Amino acid sequence: MSEVEHVHFTEQRLAEIGALAKKYPAARSALLPVLHMAQEDFGYLPMQVQQLVADTLNLRLMVVREVVTFYTMFREHEAGKYRLEVCTNVGCMLNGADDLVQHITKTLGVDIGETTADGMFTVTEVECAGACSGAPVVQINNEYHEKVDAAYMDAFITKVNADIDGGQA
């Protein structure tokens, strides 16, 4: 998304936001859900999207900024097409999460927090995902993958790369 591009919500989205806001004593309560929607629509939350959310809910931009920067799920920068979020908190750590992160970053040739040059993968470490019986847990674009090992990730990465070569990605 270019810096000057004008952004707006679709009519359908605006109707959805309007209905949502009525479910709370005050519309500002809808801020987190609306940011989730905006992130779904625009991929991430650059400044002009944050301004759009502020205008839509009649909030000051600073109120929106404060919330965007407080919560880890809101992204101000574009991530790869596949976000590989590896839980490395204790439950997963005891089940090999650190080795798994190392394997993934080495395979993709990136550091934690980085995106591959082709824009396909971003690797991050996240805090306890609340699925410790399935440790180690990797969230791939909001989807939980449990009891993940190096072979599982290799297969996933290989499949994505094969789809690129096959022109499907």
Partner 1 sequence: MISSDPKQVKAICFDRIHLVGQAGLKVARKNGAYKFLPTLLKDFDSEQIVDEVKKSGLRGRGGAGFPTGLKWSFVPRNTGKPTYLLCNADEGEPGTFKDRDIMRYDPHLLIEGMLMAGFALGVKDAYIYIRGEFLAEANILDAAIEDAYAANLLGENILGTEFSMNLTLHRGAGAYICGEETALIESLEGRPGRPRFKPPFPAVEGFYRCPTVVNNVETLATIPAILEFGGDWHAAIGVPNNTGMKIFCVSGDVNKPGNYEVPMGTSLKVLIEEYCGGLKHGTVPKVVIPGGSSTPWLTAEHYDTPLTYDALMKAGSMLGAGAVIVMDETADLIAVTRRLAHFYAHESCGQCTPCREGTGWLERIMNRVEAGTGCEKDIKVLSDAAEHMAGRTICALADGAAAPILSLLKHFPEVVQERLMENAE
Would you tell me which residues interact with partner 1 (CB under 8 A)?
23-26, 28-33, 35-36, 59, 63, 66-67, 70-74, 88-91, 93-95, 126-133, 135, 139, 142-144
Written as one string, the DSSP assignment of 26-38 is: SGGGGHHHHHHHH
> Which residue lies nearer to partner 1 by CB, 143 or 165?
143
> Which residue lies nearer to partner 1 by CB, 26 or 117?
26
**How far, in Å, CA of 169 to CA of 156, rounded?**
13
We find the least distance from the C-beta atom of residue 32 to partner 1, in angstroms, to be 5
We find the least distance from the C-beta atom of residue 22 to partner 1, in angstroms, to be 10
We find the least distance from the C-beta atom of residue 74 to partner 1, in angstroms, to be 6
> Which residue lies nearer to partner 1 by CB, 80 or 136?
136
Q: Which long-range contacts (CB under 8 A, 24 or more apart) does 127-130 make?
A: 127/72, 127/87, 127/89, 128/87, 128/89, 128/90, 128/91, 128/92, 129/87, 129/89, 129/92
